[in-house]
Structure 1
């Protein structure tokens, strides 16, 4: 089988999903380890924030810009209700109860108010008034890429990889490609399958696990 051609954008390779569940666990556990080892309030918050970015990214399939623009009020009640920056389309759905609990615990740990950004970045001051900006996409990329490198992810990894990994495991676990297409706001199922890098070898691996026979 011919290898998949890797696209490039402005000299950068296209980001790819993590397909190995063990590697995915290592990715998340490494972020948790950094949080456990952090020694100052600032570093503890940053490590906690970075873990939560990955957790929500892997579980919501939001684009990086939408993910980083989330405010507490957008997720606090167990529903996600946002307008996509790229498409202008609305996203509104109930969160998984376990994910909602993780989000509430994160909000409580970090004393976040309703209109705070979920993932705080730089502090700014203008006309004597201080305010906090959300983490930038560029910084989010650096954080996720560094963590991926540390656990041995060899494919090109970035913020978009979180979104793609969600889709890959959704299909792998039996999810409907039409439903995933709608989640991504794609126009064609083929676009969605290409996007999550679902290839012939993935299909063959899944077929090799199937055994159907008469039962007594």
Structure 2
């Protein structure tokens, strides 16, 4: 399996989101926006149901509680404005849904009885990122890595980021988000003898 990179350029992130809006793919926009803003693994994103993000009255929850598939740990996180806006846009586009429905139902013949697959999510992310001119390797993990990268670059302490991503050490977190290699390259380039 090839290693994927975070999307480091904020303009490219905007380009991806704008392409999704232009194509009317508000389901895909929400997957992408949630991934880059919550740091969830794609397996945890795809398993979300409406009852996980909405109250019975249809109001969007302030915080979401997810049991991570990989670690078995419970993760609680707030929804930021970008995610809330994406939820609202997606709901507006939907014809109807039940609270126990998958947020990201498959568009295949199963009539939404299953969420989309990791492969379908990968294809969607790859398609939009390539259309936006992103040359680096991308995949479903790109979303989580993008979250981590921008958290770090915006001043989130590495220990806090490690906890947010449920990693076992700061070194793993730095390598995961591509900072270790980036900083090493900067050090090499800084010495011009």
So what's the TM-score if we normalise by structure 1? 0.76
Unpaired runs of at least 5, structure 2: 55-60
- Aligned equivalent of 1:52, options 19, 30, 38: 30
- Aligned equivalent of 1:153, options 131, 134, 143: 134
Unpaired runs of at least 5, structure 1: 1-8, 36-46, 125-129, 209-216
Check 1:24–1:98 CA distance in 2 against 1; reply closer, same or farther (3 A cut). Answer: closer
Check 1:115–1:14 CA distance in 2 against 1; reply closer, same or farther (3 A cut). Answer: same
Larger RCO, structures 1/2 (Cα 8 Å, 6+ apart): 2
Aligned to 2:57: none
**Aligned counterparts, 1:13-162, within 5 A:** 13-35=2-24, 47-76=25-54, 77-110=61-94, 111-121=96-106, 122-124=108-110, 132-162=113-143
So what's the TM-score if we normalise by structure 2? 0.84
Deviations 1:91-140 (A, max 9, x none): 1132225533432442343133211111110342xxxxx66210100000
* Greater strand proportion: 1
Aligned to 2:58: none
Aligned pair count? Answer: 179
Check 1:131–1:154 CA distance in 2 against 1; reply closer, same or farther (3 A cut). Answer: closer
> CA-atom RMSD, angstroms?
2.1
Contact 1:17 1:168 in 2 (8 A): yes
